[in-house]
Chain A
């Protein structure tokens, strides 16, 4: 493929790709997301290809390996277009039947969704309850794209937003659009991305950096991985647009070292984008230069914290540093560095293409757009879900998630992983909203949602989460390094029936001081789950204090 030197060449090339594709030709999309891959979807894809070869179906059928479709519970997932016919739990032995039915325009009934209660079938994606209640603006393209092929991304309109930004908008106009869209950071803080961009843009230094934080260490969160593995160009496009708005010459994608598929796709995406002239000097003849480099973590949780991440890119140990001077002013090598999460960057292209007014029409009053949620725990349908902000948790848990497993009752909902919080089941009608959820004590965080059933021991939950964080603290500051093991010790005793008088008071003090005194967000929020438990489930904790000398125990 020759390099695209101008916008006209890109448009022409896109037209060529589209002209070469027959939309009526059936396409079988096999999900190769992390969960399906784990259930050996590769064998399913291989079986499809072998069947095609055997029957010499190259002209009649297409097979595509794609990123995550979302419905992890029922993997390996297969979607047949046209019609978006969803097949679940597909095995290599089902392949011949699916191919035969597809060629005849029929459906394999035994592989489509059946309602567990009524037995009613749902054939098309728009009818499957798991998908029906979603708004898949970011994830929706995944089944249409082979993440290894940039042409697939171009075919669904990829890089059109970049073209628009480079040709029709000044950097300030791009910035203003993102500010107007009130795009809030999806990594956990919910800080307005536009303001952050503006700070970096206005910082006096000329050398500026933009960063994709794809570390995603939050336990029970797996949507960034799905986005970055399934559609890496979308994030890259967002990053290039951001760099243009901010005036950055260089970008970094920072992600985990332990996800080979993700690494392969992102590496490949960067190479392809460079080949096509979407990265490098004079992008599409616009005069804008931008390079992007891929970086990996060193296997510790805290390297996802923005200042630690930047230390890591510099080649230093990933220890957080205090952010009294913001990283958007002084970040990597003390240069202004704008960091956003994968999902935040993924939102940028559509804001530029469709405008801020469109974006703000979706969502709640103060939280706009959609949010990716990783749904897991004691839920019937685990997977990756995308809903408009403001959607009631009930919709997430019951309409999409299918409720609690094994007919049990919902006890609590946990948001935000090890640094999030748990709320009781009676708050299930709360809307998904950055500020609302924070007030309740279960901040959305990056978006890991866990359902917990009636058998859940809330002391064990807090203990489990702290046990994870204790090993992930860097150990630099005292409240985090010392406070967490002390809390863990007390909680461990309580789960073993050895809780003693004064324990709750000790826990409350430790939680408060760790929250106020720690250096970085890891320490500051490490006690948040415990705080939420003491707020909503205190009687359960009190009951674990051994009654000493007839006293009340606390």
Chain B
């Protein structure tokens, strides 16, 4: 493996070819905020919060670190006026959906985001896609998917699959930054297969703590 040296926040960082800037930064103990990123999943580049400033041969670009490959002699800045502003506005946009989501509340404090700046949106899903991608890539069940496009895009459980798979799994519920995944599942169950979910083993098998439905915790109570 060839070693690559790059600069992140004025620090010389060693990385190997094929790594992303985010991985190199994490390895060096430099924190870059992420929302849609998960180690077990293929990088998605959807939330754009991990955006950083990269200087290559004198040109400054804004790239998402979860996808941008490390390269020799590039200079990365994980914070700058522009980067902070981008993160602030994105957090504000997402807070129009989920103003109380704990991760967003924390990010809002760091970047000075105003949770009420933009018009409140109906759905509290922020379309990070963790549930969809986890179910597809890790569980390989595809019980939840994206539907529609643009501003209308949302996640949706597929009743035929969800009926047999979800109650026993529930792993995506814990990944969801806003608890929307479990709400969407419960709604699907209530509408499409009330009382028909496959849960025979569930009672007999000692459930792990993460397998329980997680209540939506208001921020005030959580902090």
Chain A interfacial positions (CB closer than 8 Å to B): 300, 321-322, 324-325, 470-479, 481-486, 489, 506, 509-510, 512-513, 516-519
Give which listed residue, A470, A478, A512, A516, contacts B46 with CB less than 8 A: A478
Instruction: Tell me, rounded to whole Å, the shortest Cβ–Cβ distance linking A445 to chain B.
Output: 20
CA distance A366 to B89 in the complex (A): 37
Q: What's the nearest-Cβ distance from chain A to residue B41, in Å?
A: 14
Known: A479-B48, A516-B51. 10 other contacts (CB 8 A): A322-B63, A476-B46, A477-B45, A479-B86, A482-B90, A482-B96, A483-B93, A509-B85, A517-B62, A517-B89
Chain B contacts of A506 at CB under 8 A? Answer: 117-118
Please name the residue on chain B nearest to A518 by beta carbon: B48
Q: Are A473 and B94 in contact (CB under 8 A)?
A: no
Chain B residue with Cβ nearest A488: B151
Q: How far is the CA of A518 from the CA of B86 in the complex (A)?
A: 10
Given contacts A300-B149, A475-B148, A475-B153, contact A489 B126 (CB under 8 A): no
Could you tell me the dominant secondary structure of chain A's interface residues? helix
Complex Cα–Cα for A89 and B136 (A): 58
Given known contacts A324-B69, A325-B69, A486-B119, A474 and B46 CB-to-CB distance under 8 angstroms: no
- As a 0/1 sequence over residues 33 to 57 of chain B, the CB contacts with chain A under 8 angstroms (1 = contact) are 0000000000011111101000000
Partner of A517, one of B90, B97, B152: B90
**B43 → A minimal CB distance (Å):** 9
Contact partner, B151, options A477, A479, A485, A518, Cβ 8 Å: A485
Interface residues, chain B, with chain A CB atoms under 8 Å away: 44-49, 51, 62-64, 67-69, 82, 85-86, 89-90, 93-94, 96-97, 117-119, 121, 126-127, 129, 146, 148-153
B149 touches A475 (CB 8 A): yes
Q: Return the chain B residue nearest A480 by Cβ.
A: B150
Top 4 A-B residue pairs of the complex, sorted by shortest distance between their CB atoms: A475-B153, A482-B93, A473-B150, A513-B89
B89 is contacted by which of A300, A471, A509 (Cβ under 8 Å)?
Answer: A509
Q: What is the chain A residue whose CB lies nearest that of B21?
A: A324
| Contact for B45 among A474, A513, A519, CB less than 8 A | A519
CA distance A512 to B83 in the complex (A): 11
Question: With the chains together, A518 CA to B63 CA distance in Å?
Answer: 9
* Partner of B86 from A300, A471, A486, A516 at Cβ < 8 Å: A516
Contact call A477/B46, Cβ cutoff below 8 A: yes
Query: Which of A325, A478, A510 meets B126, CB within 8 Å?
Result: A478
A-B contact pairs, 15 of them (CB 8 A): A322-B67, A473-B150, A475-B148, A475-B152, A476-B45, A476-B153, A478-B48, A479-B89, A481-B150, A482-B94, A483-B93, A486-B93, A509-B85, A513-B89, A517-B90
Contacts of A489 in B (CB 8 A): 119
- Counting chain A CB atoms within 10 Å of each CB, the highest count among B45, B86, B89, B94 belongs to B89
